[in-house]
Structure 1
């Protein structure tokens, strides 16, 4: 038995034991699909130290490469929008922009997609092509279309898919516009985070079809949502819970911070909520609903690290400061971000602090709304 077959079997066993892999069809797809073929170009290994996070390449000639491709981990495959592992030696200190998603999350999402024989699926975000291959195994190549914004990433995925015997339809373009020429799909699944569900996805899903996507904000608390599309052009569903996280779709990335405002301006008052509420994933998600375009950063101000919220486009900002046993908030700009967050979180707590898997999501041509039960 080959080394990779043994590793594949071990991955299947772990995913089945963990509850991500539940059905025999996806069990067979994972067992038959060699993940390492989608990482032939290597991956970047994270290196933490006293300074900024660094990344160093791991190539197929490294003994660590093959076993790592069958761990339940995300593996970074691109840095700073263009740089692949083969492009550098040593370390690079730039942000990741593409990766092979951890297999457990890939499989969990495919199980949650609830596909059946004969369905057509549109995948937003081809990435390495591994999840595309699993879809092809389950449904057939002619039932799968995958859209990728990065032409080089798409080309590498096409080569890997061909190497394992799959030839789905691959499209290079903005995934937020979907596949305008592809007709209507039974399922749309996104492997990137989004701020709001694009209207194009609703238009490209047949009535009764489903959309599975991760909704996020710029405080980076995100959740997987499953929506059913109606004949009236709207969609309704719920969050599935589980703290699912993806890189944001590139058009939904936050703007550069630019020149920071004068944080000594604005109005100061005591706050009923301290910044520790933002350390909790669920509470941060609720706060993010109130201020989805606010970025959370931490700055050294007044001798210590203090949280700052900044909505670059609106010009609104928040800084929080401990004053003895209490916290004070100073906020400026046209919109009082922290006041909206306080109101939202307080109302959620008065409703009994329901878990995120009880939240409902509604999408209309006017936008995306997420609410909790009262």
Structure 2
């Protein structure tokens, strides 16, 4: 038995034991689809700051197939970054790069969980948003047949690499280079739509391209970067409803929905100050932050040092110019707010109402998408 086969089998056993992998069809697909074929261009390994204590900016180092640790890492249950700053692949550099990741190979456990959640049958037609390396596309092809799979990738270079990798494993699905938020206007209706990227709102195009009774599986996110997997069923009238599935699922946001740069910051010494019901540290909790996003969907949460002091929590809506700066004063929090809206007032309102309801977990949240937009409630 070859080393990749042994590693793949070990991965399958681990995902089975963890409860992610349950179906014989997906088990065969994972055993017979070589993940290393989709990562022959290497991946980026995280490199913490250069200081002795790990301080400093986070960098990324390329790991290529000729390196001893490459193959075991490929078959670990980990996400592997495959592109930095929108254009840079592992083979393009030597040393470290200090820019943000823009594409990755999703951890197999999450891939398998989502495939299981799709609840497919023989003949199910699937539209995948975000081809990435093509590994999850290959698993879909193995289970359903190439003719039942369409995948959309926004990045032409990423799409070319995925097409080549898919071809090397014997798969020829329909691949589209374009904006995944627009889906595939010419290929529907589909039985399932699955997104390998985060979205602020489920696009109407996906609903229009899903048959009544079909399902959409997507990660809903916000600019405070708390996200969750949602399953929606499309109704006869073109609306959709469903629920969040829990588990703190995270994907990179769809590129057209990335937050705007912070730009020139407002004067945080201005505005109105009051006592706060709670502070910025509460946003470290995943679910609390998700609820805060519902209150301020276009706001970003950052920690920045103000007036040369300790970092403070700031919630900022760049487009509207609204902001809230939180400061701890002994055992109490204060908030100073400016701009046309009082962001922290809304955050406090939502979070307080959620806590009074018993702080339900995200798996108890419901999601609906209609002509009027998207709503998420608990």
Fold-level similarity (TM above 0.5): yes
| CA shift for structure 1 position 324 | 2.2
Between the aligned partners of 1:10 and 1:323, the Cα distance in structure 2 is 52
The answer to whether 1:359 aligns with 2:359 is: no
Give the total of aligned pairs.
Answer: 372
Residue 253, structure 1, aligned to residue 258, structure 2? yes
CA distance in 2, matches of 1:24, 1:325: 55
Shift of 1:325: 1.7
Structure 2 CA distance, aligned partners of 1:264 and 1:309?
Answer: 14
Partner Cα distance (1:38, 1:335) in 2: 47
What is the match of residue 227 of structure 1? Answer: 232
Deviation at 1:243, TM superposition (A): 0.0
Aligned to 1:308: 314
Please point out which of 175, 178, 198 is paired with 2:203.
Answer: 198
Report deviation, 1:293.
Answer: 1.0
1:68-217 pair list within 5 angstroms: 68-217=73-222
Gaps of 5+ in 1: none
Corresponding residue of 2:18: 18
Q: Which residue of 1 aligns with 2:29?
A: 29
**SS at the partner of 1:111?**
helix
- In structure 2, the partner of 1:369 is 375
Q: Which residue in 2 is equivalent to 1:331?
A: 337
SS of aligned partner of 2:142? helix
Q: Distance in 2 between matches of 1:325 and 1:75?
A: 41
Q: 1:282 Cα shift?
A: 0.7
Match of 1:238 among 236, 243, 253: 243
Shift of the alpha carbon at 1:74? Answer: 0.4
Give 1:276 shift.
1.9
CA distance in 2, matches of 1:61, 1:340: 53
Task: Give the Å deviation of 1:183.
Answer: 1.9
| Cα displacement (A) at 1:255 | 0.3
SS of residue matched to 2:150? strand
Structure 2: unaligned runs, 5 residues or longer? 50-54
Task: Measure the CA separation in 1 of the matches of 2:64 and 2:149.
Answer: 30
Which of structure 1's runs of 4+ aligned residues deviate more than 6 A?
A: none
TM-aligned CA deviation for residue 371 of structure 1: 0.2
What RMSD, in angstroms, separates the aligned Cα atoms of the two structures? 0.6
